Structure 1
Amino acid sequence: MKFFKLSILTLAFFGLMSCNNEQSLQEYYIDSKENNDFKVIEASTSLIAPAIEKLSADQQKVVKSVKKINLLAYSLKDTAFFNTETAKLKTILQNDDYDELMKVGNSEQRMRIFIKGDEDAIDEVVVFAQDENKGFVLARVLGEDMNVADMVRFAETMDTSSATLNTGSFEGIMDVFK
């Protein structure tokens, strides 16, 4: 009986020790959806590109590799909250197996781009843009076997095909930086 109790205690101890208390980016998004200080948009590419047949074959391939886009924005109202949330996001991005692809900016405005997956088979792209005077935007692009060149073409497609693509769902999210 002692052995049984000791075994249960040992399993419970190791179970508690192995629990990961670090928040994932997905958990951060879910938690933030409940906070009215954030603007959150989640869209599948089928909503963004309902008229995909009007795109070129190359653009269609790129759009089809992207499955979902999540945007989270915070318009600066409270500097302490802004600092706390950006610190949380930096920790999550450092601890959650993201590889930093690019970093640009200055002391007041910064943008960092992260990827998860192999360079030629990217599963997720994260763009984290901050402005010390305006707020931040966190964008997640989820897909299958995306690559860096595809992401550039996807951004170009979103920009140049606004008549074909339904980008209206993103209106208001960039107001954070106006």
Structure 2
Amino acid sequence: MKALKLSLVLLLIATCISCNNKQSLQEYYIDSKENDKFIMVDLPTSLIAPKSENLSEDQQRIIASVKKVNLLAYAMKDTSFYNSETNKVNGILNADNYDELMKLGTPEQRMRVFIKGDEDAIDEVVVFAQDNNKGFLLARVLGDNMNVADMVRFAETMDTSSAALNTGGFEGIMDVFK
């Protein structure tokens, strides 16, 4: 009898755990990959980073902490779909332990930056840019032990070495916002 009660309790616990229907950002990316309304690109840092011989040791260390960048974009075609998807993304970001680092823009055009992990050991940086007339772009920067200051320097590195930057990986994705 005790074994039956224990089995029922364990079954109930397993059922409750498996009923967690909150979607993660990774699951959202996977689901969206199957939807032809989205443009999706996965970029290793070797594709987007400047040539290493043009970088200082500090810049090379920062780039080494970034493993890849996932880009997901939706070009505005259907306002109700846009609203539905941006609500999903906002819900995921608000419920999945992401810390909002910064936000800027207007109600029509806005960008928010989120981090996941400790301030000195960030595992993921998420940029969610929305334009109510053009669509949205969701970018995930995945890495190991990244930190906020390094991410700022990474962005500066990408900006100041645009001559060495391989932009071929971005063709098509930025056309979404033309």
Same fold (TM over 0.5): yes
Shift of 1:9: 2.4
Gaps of 5+ in 1: none
Shift of 1:77: 0.7
CA-based RMSD? 1.6
TM-score (normalised: structure 1): 0.92
Paired residue type of 2:89 = L
Cα distance, 1:166 vs. partner? 1.9
Q: C-alpha separation between the residues in 2 aligned to 1:74 and 1:59?
A: 32
Aligned-pair distance for 1:50?
A: 7.3
Q: How far apart, CA to CA, are the structure 1 residues paired with 2:76 and 2:177?
A: 10
SS at match of 1:60: helix
Aligned to 1:108: 108
Question: How far apart, in 2, do the equivalents of 1:10 and 1:58 lie?
Answer: 54
Inter-partner Cα distance in structure 1 for 2:150 and 2:128? 19
Q: Which amino acid aligns with 2:23?
A: Q
Q: State the partner residue of 1:141.
A: 141
- TM-aligned CA deviation for residue 17 of structure 1: 0.9
The total of aligned residue pairs comes to: 177
Deviating more after overlay: 155-164 vs 28-37: 155-164
Q: Report what 1:80 is aligned to.
A: 80
Question: Once the two structures are aligned, what percentage of the paired residues are identical?
Answer: 68
What SS is found at the alignment partner of 1:172? coil
Q: Which runs of 4+ in 1 moved over 4 A?
A: none
* Distance in 1 (alpha carbons) for counterparts of 2:107 and 2:164: 37
Question: 1:20-61 CA distances to partner (integer Å, 9 max, x unpaired)?
Answer: 210100111111111111111111112333732332222212
Question: CA shift at 1:5, angstroms?
Answer: 3.4
Instruction: Provide the C-alpha distance between the structure 1 equivalents of 2:146 and 2:167, rounded to a whole number of angstroms.
Output: 21
Quick check: 1:74–1:136 contact (8 Å CA) kept in 2?
yes
Preserved contact between residue 52 and residue 164 of structure 1 (Cα < 8 Å): no
1:128-178 Cα deviation digits (max 9, x unpaired): 010111100000001112112211221122223233232210122122222
Alpha carbons 2:50, 2:162 under 8 Å: kept? no
Paired residue secondary structure (2:36): coil
SS at match of 2:166: coil
Consecutive unaligned residues of structure 2, counting only runs of 5 or more, are none
Distance 2:33 2:159 in 1: 27
Q: Supply the distance in 1 between the matched residues of 2:50 and 2:147 (Cα, whole angstroms).
A: 23
Greater alpha carbon shift after TM alignment, 11-20 vs 28-37: 11-20
State the alpha-carbon separation in 2 of the partners of residues 169 and 8 from structure 1.
53
Determine the structure 1 residue equivalent to 2:16. Answer: 17
Aligned position for 2:31: 31
Query: After the TM superposition, which residues 118-133 of structure 1 pair with which residues of structure 2 at under 5 Å, given as runs?
Result: 118-133=118-133
Q: Which residue of 2 aligns with 1:4?
A: 3
State the TM-score, normalizing by the size of structure 2. Answer: 0.92
